[in-house]
Amino acid sequence: MQQGSDRLNIVVDRNIRGAEDTFGRHGRLTFLDGRSITAGHLENTDALIIRTATQVDHRLLQNSPVGFVGTTSIGTDHLDIEFLNQQRIRWASAPGCNADSAAQYTLAMIWLACQRLERDLADLSVGIIGRGNVGSRLLHLLTALDVRCVANDPPLSEQGVAGLVSLNEALEQDIVSLHVPLQHAAPYATCGFVGAGELARMPEGALLVNTARGDVVNGEALEAQLRRGRLHAALDVWPGEPLFSASLLDLTTVATPHVAGYSEDGKRNGTRMVYRAFCQWSRLQPVDPAASDIPTPVLELRAGEHALSKVLDAACFVGRHDEAMRKLIPLEPDQRAIEFDRLRRQYPSRRDFQAWTIRCTESILTPDLRQLGFSIEQMSD
């Protein structure tokens, strides 16, 4: 524990939003590239605030004075939690902080993939594997669009939650969307759990969507299915990233650089959640961050435009980053990894659906975008 009168030394991943207005009120901030943080950077550091790019284990922390580690992400597979607990290093994550962002982006990826495959989402069924924070929100969005969905979640099934299906039934749908954490240990190990057998259960022509963690899927098995043309894939996360397969990228229907949860709203939610845990650890009084100066985005729809296509493109711009990803295919592996991280680092500002105002006439409001979270400002016909 730190005393409230001390100024703390805090190392922060440079991609974290709002650090100056929160952690910066209590200490000296050193901003670094998350993937480049080493033990040498932490010799005089009290707290480390990161995202998923930093692997936190004994090699990074064993000789450091770090007493608090906070990751502004929902996942913790990059933290050696057993080591942190053994060393009595307080740690915190931000479960659910960007669940809306990730679910909305997943919907946009599915929509773009269906367009490219010349399929109507309304005619398809979706199997959601993992009905936690993100999966449950995706289920809500798809249900609002009258898409048939089933969900599989063994931990929830064991808790007696109703309405869930077996893994096999989820895999048998036209679209399979993954929303599970990356876990290496039983009873719910997920590393590589979508392998050759699971992919074989999927019907001919099915679409696999992954916005969870890349290593949940066996990359070689998936690539073999894509090369045969038996399955299709929309991937935001990649086995082995940032050193991922160029041939797998080339075979995907939609490809983006691990940015599903990268909305401004989700990032700032994550910062606030970890900041509160940091203040509890340091016995400091939290300071309310300044109000965001990010303008409210507005989109105007006109008659003759496809409302859902236009709003998903405006709010999530998946196609733009799919195009950027494909430019990485001819690069050497190390350079591809560098450019992959650059795309994540330079990702433009994105707002969740709830931040948007859509101006349109009632007559063209199909589907009802309010069901997806958008605010509607009526215009006269």
pLDDT in tens, 11-51: 999 989 899 999 999 999 999 999 999 999 999 999 999 99
pLDDT digits (tens, 9 = 90+) for 176-225: 999 999 998 888 999 999 999 999 999 999 999 999 999 999 999 999 99
What is the rounded distance in angstroms from the CA atom of residue 299 to the CA atom of residue 199?
A: 39
92 shares its domain with 110: no
Q: Is residue 184 part of a domain?
A: yes
Residues 374 and 331 in one domain: yes
334 three-state secondary structure: helix
Q: Residue 321 catalytic?
A: no
pLDDT at 185: 86
Mean pLDDT value of segment 123-140: 97
CA distance 260 to 316: 9
What is the residue-averaged pLDDT of the chain? Answer: 93
Please check whether residue 181 lies inside any domain of the structure: yes
Bridge partners of 128?
A: 151, 177
Which range of residues forms the domain containing residue 118? 99-255
For residues 153 and 238, membership in a common domain is answered with: yes
Q: Please, which residues have CB within 8 angstroms of residue 261's CB and are 6 or more apart in sequence?
A: 73, 74, 98, 101, 102, 105, 211
Residue 23 located in a structural domain: yes
Q: Are residues 85 and 47 part of one domain? A: yes
Say how many domains are in the chain. 3
Q: Is residue 291 part of a domain?
A: no
89: CB partners within 8 A, 6+ apart:
61, 66, 67, 68, 69
Looking at the fold, whether 125 and 191 belong to one and the same domain comes out as yes
Per-residue pLDDT at 169 exceeds 90: yes
Residue in 35, 51, 90, 213 annotated catalytic: 213
- Asked if 31 contacts 12 with a C-beta cutoff of 8 angstroms, the reply is yes
The CATH number of whichever domain residue 77 belongs to comes to: 3.40.50.720
The answer to whether residue 287 is domain-embedded is no
| pLDDT at residue 367, as a whole number | 72
Q: Is 362 a catalytic residue?
A: no
32 within a domain of the structure (yes/no): yes
My answer on whether 45 and 165 are in the same domain is no
* Whether 258 is catalytic: yes
Lowest mean pLDDT among 97-101, 105-109, 186-190, 311-315: 186-190
pLDDT at 6: 61
Closest CA to 277 of 53, 68, 111: 68
Among 80-84, 134-138, 250-254, 364-368, the minimum mean pLDDT is found in 364-368
The per-residue pLDDT for 3 is 43
Closest CA to 268 of 19, 62, 45, 1: 19
**To which residue do tokens 């692997």 refer?**
55
pLDDT at position 140 over 60: yes
Closest by CA position to 221, among listed 211, 210, 212:
210
pLDDT of residue 238 exceeding 90: yes
Q: Give the pLDDT band of residue 365 (cuts 50, 70, 90).
A: low
- Asked whether residue 169 falls in the same domain as residue 248, the answer is yes
pLDDT in tens, 66-82: 999 999 998 899 999 99
337 plus 369 within the same structural domain: yes
- The CB density around residue 132, as the number of other CB atoms within 10 Å, is 18
What is the pTM (predicted TM-score) of this model? 0.90
How many Cα neighbours within 13 Å face the side chain of 131?
25
- For the chain, count helices (H), then strands (E): 13, 14
Gap between the Cα atoms of 255 and 318, Å rounded: 8
Do residue 216 and residue 327 come from a single domain?
no
Which of the residues 179, 258, 336, 344 is marked catalytic?
A: 258
Tokens of 140: 């809500």
Asked if 341 and 35 touch (Cβ cutoff 8 Å), the reply is yes
Considering 26, 179, 198, 241, which one is annotated as catalytic? 241
In a shared domain, residues 85 and 139: no
Confidence of residue 302 (pLDDT cuts 50, 70, 90): confident
pLDDT at position 296 is: 87
Residue 305: per-residue pLDDT:
75
Cβ–Cβ under 8 Å, residues 101 and 352? yes
Q: Are residues 273 and 319 in the same domain?
A: no
- Report the amino acid identity of residue 194: V
In a domain, 153, yes or no: yes
Q: What pLDDT was estimated at residue 381?
A: 62
pLDDT mean over 160-188:
95
Residue 324: which CATH number? Answer: 3.30.1370.170
- How many Cβ atoms are within 10 Å of 122's Cβ, its own excluded? 11
Give yes or no for residue 380 having a pLDDT over 80: no
CB 8 within 8 A of CB 47: yes
The owner of tokens 């057998």 is 197
* Predicted local confidence at residue 5, as pLDDT: 40
Classify residue 1: in a domain, yes or no: no
Tell whether 142 and 223 lie within a shared domain.
yes
